[in-house]
């Protein structure tokens, strides 16, 4: 828990300070495409993860596994350590027999902020887009119907987290195209403000671990 709090404090310290040019950040020459494989479980609300590092599992124990395909559309935006990509996700839900398992697709833009953590390169990221599920996820539906009396298969989507290159973690340079990270996969109705999302309030969060490969 202390580690996650330390990461959170570092993230906010980065956001609080001006973003410097890329000269102070270690840059690898990387391809523009990558693929992410991940799995995770239903957890606490998004801000619990971001502010408190709270990664406790929700008691229904539902889970997801998925794959993201990404194309970088801008590297080092305006000479700052910011990379922008477009991502498409395919997700499978394990609903633990509370309802039928189902699929989901996400389409979103992601911004990576390159930085250093204890002299080790790290990337913080946030993705924003839309998410369409075959069925309303079980725990999410319970939450949104409790709060707003409604639910929606189409929701706003956020993906927030950080990652490290395995080469920086292990010292093996031949692993420089592979990253390991953690992310919060978040669906919500944007506080019942959007008709497209059925004016739904509330949502769901899945804490995921992932491996990402550049190609």
| Rounded Cα distance, 4 and 205, in Å | 17
- CA-to-CA distance for 79 and 190, rounded, in angstroms? 32
- Which residues have C-beta within 8 Å of that of residue 128, sequence separation ≥ 6? 108, 109, 110, 156, 157, 158
Domain total in the chain: 1
Query: For position 119, which CATH number holds?
Result: 2.40.160.20
pLDDT tens digit at each of 215 positions of the chain: 555 555 554 655 555 455 666 655 556 667 899 999 999 999 976 555 555 566 788 899 999 999 999 999 999 999 999 999 999 999 999 999 999 999 999 999 999 999 998 888 999 999 999 999 999 999 999 999 999 999 999 999 999 999 999 999 999 999 999 999 999 999 999 989 899 999 999 999 999 999 999 99
Domain holding 187, by residue range, is 2-24+33-214
pTM (global) more than 0.85: yes
Which neighbouring-strand residues pair with 124? 113, 162
């Amino acid at each position: 828990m202390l580690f996650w709090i330390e990461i959170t404090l570092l993230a906010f310290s980065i956001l609080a300070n001006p973003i410097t040019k890329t000269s102070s950040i270690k840059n690898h020459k990387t391809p523009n495409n990558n693929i992410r494989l991940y799995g995770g479980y239903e957890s606490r609300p998004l801000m619990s993860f971001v502010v408190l590092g709270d990664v406790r599992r929700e008691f229904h124990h539902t889970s997801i596994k998925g794959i993201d395909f990404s194309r970088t559309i801008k590297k080092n935006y305006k000479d700052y350590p910011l990379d922008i990509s477009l991502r498409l996700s395919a997700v499978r839900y394990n609903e633990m027999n509370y309802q039928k398992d189902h699929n989901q697709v996400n389409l979103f833009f992601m911004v990576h902020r390159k930085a250093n953590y204890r002299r080790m390169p790290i990337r913080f990221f946030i993705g924003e887009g839309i998410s369409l599920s075959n069925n309303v996820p079980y725990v999410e539906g319970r939450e949104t119907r409790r709060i707003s009396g409604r639910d929606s298969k189409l929701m706003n989507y956020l993906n927030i987290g950080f990652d490290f290159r395995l080469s920086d973690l292990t010292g093996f340079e031949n692993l420089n195209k592979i990253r390991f990270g953690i992310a919060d996969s978040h669906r919500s109705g944007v506080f019942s403000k959007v008709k497209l999302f059925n004016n739904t309030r509330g949502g769901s969060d899945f804490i995921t671990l992932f491996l990402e490969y550049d190609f």
